[in-house]
Amino acid sequence: MLSKNLEDALHRALDYANEQKHEFATLEHLLLALTDDEDARKLLSACDVKIDILSGALHKYIREDLAHLVGLSEAEAKPTAGFQRVIQRSIIHVQSSGRAEVNGANIIVALFSERESHAVFFLREQDMSRFDAVNFISHGIEKRISNSEANPNVSSEGDEEGNHGNKSGTEALDAYCVDLNAKSNSGHIDPLIGRSFEVERTIQILCRRTKNNPLYVGDPGVGKTAIAEGLAKRITEKNVPDVLADTTIYSLDMGSLLAGTRYRGDFEERLKAVIAEIEKKSEAILFIDEIHTIIGAGATSGGAMDASNLLKPALQGGRLRCIGSTT
């Protein structure tokens, strides 16, 4: 079922085409109509899209580049095949996720499947991706421009929110990982008793140039996770060699990583974002508790691509330092 706001937006798209005497209503007419839709505007704003600039670009494109669609007859404009595919795709996605109503935000997510369209080009021109849209719909996580993508000289003084100017480049780590160093600093990690040998051995392995990924193996409840937390506590207390003095340990939260991954490719995008941010931080270590659960995690039926296969290239190339624990 389509929401009332979306029905109005679809009528506006057809009206835009009729005003220009176009024979067909295209995806660009649809996106232009969505710039006035409440749900779509909320999504576009969260993904750092300048709606006024987008609307202006669409108006210019429709006026100048779609002039060949002007027909001789007075018949009303008909939706193109791509227009209809986007609507059908969004309905299927919403039904499969158990929701009852399709809104403008769902249409924009479905729009990204029409990769050759100018509508998608205009969205990507403002650095919006399908992952950004799904991330906001699923978790309410707004896009913040990382310093690798933004010009560091650009000031954020004109940003009313203030948060969008934060160019930390750790959005995926903040969303899907737990900073054990910060947890230790806040006093939520207790002192580690009776595991000094295991911690020292972990430090030795992490200080190697290669083959520096320790793995804890033991029965449930013996304190494997506590060793990683104890190491983080020692790092914050500067009780480690200079090589590890500035290291930060991030614990991967597999539940958050999988939660809300309705569409194919969502899980892979999230995990690759985490890996990319870990690789950029030369002093970061990834801790994966119950590491055996990454085998098959995120894999679709019949597919071989899971979390373990996504991590393997980074581990093989030595770009990622990782601590694992398993039974």
Strand partners, 249: 285
Superfamily of domain 4-141: Clp, N-terminal domain (1.10.1780.10)
Residue 192 burial (CB count, 10 A): 19
CATH of 171-326, picked from 3.40.190.10, 3.40.50.300, 3.40.50.720, 3.40.50.920, is: 3.40.50.300
Of the listed ranges 33-47, 63-77, 90-104, 178-192, the one predicted with least confidence: 63-77
Which pLDDT does position 264 carry in this prediction?
64
Which pLDDT does position 272 carry in this prediction?
85
Cα gap 101→325, rounded to integer Å: 42
User: What's the whole-model pTM score?
Assistant: 0.51
Pairing mode of beta strands 177-179, 248-252: antiparallel
Task: Delimit the CATH 1.10.1780.10 region(s) of the chain.
Answer: 4-141
At how many degrees (to 10) do helices 81-96 and 27-34 cross?
A: 50
pLDDT digits (tens, 9 = 90+) for 167-217: 345 678 888 888 999 999 998 888 888 888 999 999 999 988 888 889 999
Mean pLDDT (the chain, rounded): 82
pLDDT at 165 over 50: no
> What does the pLDDT average to over 110-121?
90
Question: Rounded to the nearest 5°, which phi and psi values hold at 59?
Answer: -60, -45
Which pLDDT does position 10 carry in this prediction?
92
Which pLDDT does position 150 carry in this prediction?
37
> What does the pLDDT average to over 72-86?
86
pLDDT at 157 over 70: no
Question: Rounded to the nearest 5°, which phi and psi values hold at 300?
Answer: -85, 165
Task: Delimit the CATH 3.40.50.300 region(s) of the chain.
Answer: 171-326
pLDDT digits (tens, 9 = 90+) for 56-67: 999 999 888 888
Of the listed ranges 62-76, 197-211, 254-268, 272-286, the one predicted with least confidence: 254-268
Where does the pLDDT of residue 46 fall: very low under 50, low under 70, confident under 90, or very high at 90 and above? confident
Of the listed ranges 28-37, 41-50, 156-165, 226-235, the one predicted with least confidence: 156-165
